[in-house]
Amino acid sequence: MNASNIHTQSSRASASRVRLVVASLVVFAVGLATGVLSGERIRKALGFGTEHGTAAMEPAEAGQLWTCGMHPQVIQDRPGTCPICGMALTPVAGSGAQAPTMSGERKIKYWWDPMMSPPYISDQPGKSPMGMDLVPVYEDEVSAGSTLVIDPSVVQNMGLRVARVGEAPLARSIRAVGVLAEPEPSRHDVNLRLEGWIDRLHAATEGMRLSKGDPLFDLYSPELQVAIEELIGARKMREVLASRDQADALFGAATRKLELYGLARDQVDALAALDTAPRTVTFTSPADGFLVEKMVYAGSAVMAGDTVMRIADTSKLWLDARVFEKDLAHVRIDQEVSARVDGRPGESFEGRVILVHPRIDPITRAALVRMELDNPELTLRHGMFATAFLEVQIASRAIVVPREAIIDTGERQVAFVALDMGHFEPRKVEMGASGDGGIVQVLSGLAPGEEVVVSGQFLLDAESRMKEAIQRFLKEKSLPAGALPKGEKPVAALKGLQGVSGEWKRAAEDLLAAYLDVARTLGAPQTSEEPVDVTPLALAAGALRTRAIGGDQTTLADELVNVVGAMSQRPIAEQRKLFAAVSDAAIEFATRSPRTGERVPRLLVAHCPMVEARWLQDAESISNPYYATTMKLCGEIERELVSPSGDAAPATQEHDHSGGRR
């Protein structure tokens, strides 16, 4: 190949390379322009103007957030697993577009008079019917989260239904189940006042119906015969003696003697007319009723004081029912009652309340309410089951909503107010008493005329909680460097204790060891509801108190003694709640007080996001003392505490759980 050909081929290769570079630059420029335009369209679709496009893309917005489908309050800025249930976290759609907003202007929601019961609410300022100036209630005081915006078509697909907040009288029917019983005042005991033998038994079967004056039994009694003879003799003497006064006195004494033996006056008069005393005397029923108990048979020997029969009048019956403590405030004596008996379907029996027992059963949380029912036809029987209904009026005027409109989590009560154009506002409310028809009283948080969601509100609640959690997460991420969440003290502000002796260090070691024992017990799955024994911890706190020389030593020791003493002899559920205060005191103590490190070589601070509480442990694996049974692994290690030196220098050294100093 000659030189000219080589030069020609080299020139062609150079030209090809130039054309390739130029084409690449053209493609890059077209792509860049397309990206800019696409980004502009995306920003406009998200509601960002061109002049604010740069400011809108802050780092907190651009980062992807992750949440748990079962626990929307869990928000992280990285993938992983839920600390509560262990499920894999899922990305939050559009999380980068949400950021916390701050506004200095507060908007008034309504005006009200909180002194009236029920409270008076108005949509404009002024005075209440009592003449009091109405107090403004701001939206941020009643809001339970940020307003949700949902497309109307999505609202229809979710099946959301709303109801209007009303104002009406609040009444309810208290339903109580009980058992019919014989009234105690209607029971009559037939009790002998002299000895003898039952010669004949007329009332021979328990349960037989008796009327007043019906024969019960014939009694043979020599003592009674002598008394009758005395009566007959006094009557004969009065007929023949000229001195009527003495004869009348003897006759009256004999008559009273037989009456004291239990005979009726007409029966005594009949015996006085006889010539000789009969061998037996018939005793009769003292009242109408049923023979409910019989203790003798024909031929039985009886002594003075023996109860031989019991008769019960059932023209009125007692209904002993159990009423729960939340309803007792509405029950009063002489209140009218309507009862239905299982054995008499279709019939209603009227009565009244005669007793409200002063004690409540600690297990059932109910008290005995006794009602008296009329039973003129004797159709009701002792032992029948019955249901009582008491109609009570709770308030003559109350703000009411359907019960399903309020989500009650135990710690908070939330209702979703439907605004215009698919806007829904979660509102904190306070529930009052429940009424008939599925309505409930609202003491605060809602105004008459507003519309609340009554179906599909749980979907809104999950969305609201996730949105609130995202805002809280972004707000914490935007805190200045070194700032701590609310409730946590900066370590640099906790000064180390001065003048600490060797005895104090050993006592501190004993106290922290006893604390860890209690934390392990509370963090282990419980097989019983017996309270945890905190006696060793209380003794260790007391021993530390005796070694305090004043100042911060005494203050820390007194705080430990007080919070540990509050846990003693409490149910384990209460001990778990009180353990948060014990842990806060122990963390501050371990941060400020030097220790030997012999019994507790390592201390880690753990945090549970569900209860916003911390505790100390000496192992890496989480053992939650607040949710040991349900969520034992909920939480994370925040840092490791390093024992201060014990001189005057503040205890500012801290390590994270990976060993790095911060």
Which residue, among 101, 77, 103, 97, has the nearest Cα to 89 in the 3D structure? 77
Which residue, among 311, 284, 299, has the nearest Cα to 208 in the 3D structure? 311
Residue appearing with tokens 């309270």: 531
Share of the chain above pLDDT 70, in %: 75
Which has more pLDDT, 483 or 308? 308
Which has more pLDDT, 142 or 454? 454
HSE at residue 622, side-chain half, CA atoms within 13 A, is 21
Mean pLDDT taken over the chain: 77
Contacts (Cβ under 8 Å, ≥6 apart) of 290: 207, 208, 209, 210, 311, 312, 314
Other Cβ atoms less than 10 A from the Cβ of 559: the count is 18
* Distance from C-alpha of 640 to C-alpha of 605, rounded to nearest angstrom: 6
What pLDDT is recorded for position 40? Answer: 42
For residues 286-309, give the mean pLDDT.
Answer: 90
What pLDDT is recorded for position 168? Answer: 87
Amino acid identity, position 31 = G
Alpha-helix residue ranges (DSSP H) falling in 478-571: 502-523, 535-546, 552-567
Amino acid identity, position 398 = A
- Quick one: which H or E segment has residue 239? helix 222-240
What pLDDT is recorded for position 346? Answer: 86
Q: Is the pLDDT of residue 480 over 80?
A: no
* Distance from C-alpha of 443 to C-alpha of 142, rounded to nearest angstrom: 12
Tens digit of each residue's pLDDT (9 = 90 or more) over 576-596: 888 989 999 999 888 888 888
What pLDDT is recorded for position 41? Answer: 39
At residue 551, φ and ψ (nearest 5 deg) are 65, -140
What pLDDT is recorded for position 389? Answer: 92
DSSP conformational letter for 231: H
What pLDDT is recorded for position 513? Answer: 92
Least confident range of 79-88, 115-124, 363-372, 521-530: 115-124
* Distance from C-alpha of 473 to C-alpha of 480, rounded to nearest angstrom: 14
What pLDDT is recorded for position 64? Answer: 78
Amino acid identity, position 531 = P
From residue 302, give the alpha-carbon distance in Å to each of 8, 85, 220, 309, 629: 150, 77, 10, 12, 66
Which residue, among 229, 334, 327, 345, has the nearest Cα to 281 in the 3D structure? 229
The answer to whether 192 touches 302, Cβ cutoff 8 Å, is yes
Question: Strand, coil or helix: what is 551?
Answer: coil
Q: Is the pLDDT of residue 39 over 90?
A: no
Task: Identify any residues that bridge with 290 across adjacent strands, giving them in sequence order.
Answer: 209, 312
Which has more pLDDT, 23 or 558? 558
Sign of the CA dihedral 570, 571, 572, 575?
Answer: negative
Note the CATH number of domain 163-183+314-452: 2.40.30.170
* Distance from C-alpha of 291 to C-alpha of 187, rounded to nearest angstrom: 10
From residue 41, give the alpha-carbon distance in Å to each of 59, 405, 653: 20, 40, 51
The answer to whether 617 touches 604, Cβ cutoff 8 Å, is yes
Least confident range of 20-29, 189-198, 240-249, 374-383: 20-29
Question: Strand, coil or helix: what is 662?
Answer: coil
What pLDDT is recorded for position 46? Answer: 34
Rounded to 5°, the CA angle 180-186-191 comes to: 125
Other Cβ atoms less than 10 A from the Cβ of 390: the count is 23
Tokens of 403: 């019960």
Angle between helices 572-592 and 502-523 (to 10 degrees): 150
Strands (E), 44-143: 66-67, 75-76, 90-91, 108-113, 120-122, 135-138
What pLDDT is recorded for position 418? Answer: 86
CATH 2.40.50.100 assigned to domain 187-311? The reply is yes
At residue 158, φ and ψ (nearest 5 deg) are -75, -15
Q: Is the pLDDT of residue 262 over 70?
A: yes
Tens digit of each residue's pLDDT (9 = 90 or more) over 308-326: 999 998 889 999 999 998 8
* Distance from C-alpha of 75 to C-alpha of 82, rounded to nearest angstrom: 9
Q: Is 404 exposed, middle or buried (0-12, 13-18, 19+ CB in 10 A)?
A: middle
pTM for the whole thing? 0.47
Q: What is the 3-state secondary structure (H, E, C) of 298-341?
A: CCCEECCCCEEEEEECCCEEEEEEEEEHHHHCCCCCCCEEEEEE
Q: Is the pLDDT of residue 439 over 50?
A: yes
Q: Is the pLDDT of residue 28 over 50?
A: no
What pLDDT is recorded for position 301? Answer: 92
What pLDDT is recorded for position 29? Answer: 43
Least confident range of 285-299, 301-315, 622-636: 622-636
Q: Is the pLDDT of residue 61 over 50?
A: no
Least confident range of 53-67, 190-204, 430-444: 53-67
The answer to whether 260 touches 248, Cβ cutoff 8 Å, is no
What pLDDT is recorded for position 322? Answer: 93
What pLDDT is recorded for position 309? Answer: 92
Tens digit of each residue's pLDDT (9 = 90 or more) over 369-403: 999 999 888 889 999 999 999 988 888 888 999 98
Tens digit of each residue's pLDDT (9 = 90 or more) over 220-235: 999 888 999 888 888 8
From residue 507, give the alpha-carbon distance in Å to each of 21, 513, 535, 605, 642: 78, 10, 15, 21, 17
Which has more pLDDT, 241 or 31? 241
From residue 182, give the alpha-carbon distance in Å to each of 213, 320, 373, 482: 21, 10, 11, 76
For residues 435-441, give the mean pLDDT.
Answer: 86
DSSP conformational letter for 504: H
Which has more pLDDT, 341 or 81? 341
What pLDDT is recorded for position 36? Answer: 38
Q: Is the pLDDT of residue 353 over 80?
A: yes
Q: Is the pLDDT of residue 620 over 70?
A: yes
Helix, strand, coil percentages (3-state) for the chain, rounded to 5, are 35, 30, 40
* Distance from C-alpha of 293 to C-alpha of 312, rounded to nearest angstrom: 9
Tens digit of each residue's pLDDT (9 = 90 or more) over 131-180: 788 878 766 555 555 666 766 666 667 777 888 998 888 888 889 999 99
What pLDDT is recorded for position 642? Answer: 82
Which residue, among 373, 550, 358, 431, has the nearest Cα to 118 in the 3D structure? 431
* Distance from C-alpha of 616 to C-alpha of 519, rounded to nearest angstrom: 8
What pLDDT is recorded for position 373? Answer: 92
What pLDDT is recorded for position 95? Answer: 55
